[in-house]
């Protein structure tokens, strides 16, 4: 299964890809929605991990409008910004967890997301 890690933060994006790959998935890092669209057009993604720690609500809104139909989203937010979590859930992102939880449990979180 192919998982896109959408993150403008190079360090977290790279770490996210490592977490995805360690869980047995094919991970690809994308920096923005245009890159996500291009990657999905080449070889459709099965899930998206998105970093909402920078411009979180705006990024969640943009992704909610642009994500490929039926592709589940696991979003990571800064634990000090519960408003970002609330907005992401309201916009229909499937699972929204603190970034630290994704780092600890990313593989299990993805497995659960993809099993649904």
Distance between CA atoms of 100 and 97, rounded to whole angstroms? 8
Per-residue model confidence as pLDDT tens digits over 24-48: 999 999 999 999 999 999 999 999 9
Provide the pLDDT for residue 54.
85
Q: Domain range holding 62?
A: 2-115
Provide the pLDDT for residue 55.
86
* 75 token code pair: 């979003």
Q: How many domains does the chain have?
A: 1
**Diameter of the chain measured on Cα atoms:** 36
Per-residue model confidence as pLDDT tens digits over 84-105: 999 999 999 999 999 999 999 9
Q: What is the CATH number of the domain that holds 94?
A: 3.40.50.2300
* 73 token code pair: 């989203």
CB 3 within 8 A of CB 48: yes
């Amino acid at each position: 299964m192919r998982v896109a890690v959408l993150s403008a933060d190079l360090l977290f994006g790279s770490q996210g890809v490592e977490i995805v790959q360690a869980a047995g998935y094919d991970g690809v890092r994308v920096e923005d929605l245009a890159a996500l669209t291009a990657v999905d057009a080449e070889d459709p993604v099965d899930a998206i991990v998105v970093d909402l720690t920078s411009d979180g609500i705006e990024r969640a809104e943009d992704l909610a409008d642009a994500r490929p139909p039926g592709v589940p989203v696991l979003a990571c937010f800064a634990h000090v910004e519960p408003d970002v979590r609330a907005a992401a859930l309201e916009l229909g992102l499937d699972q929204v967890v603190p970034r630290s939880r994704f780092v600890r449990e990313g593989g299990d979180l993805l497995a659960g997301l993809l099993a649904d």
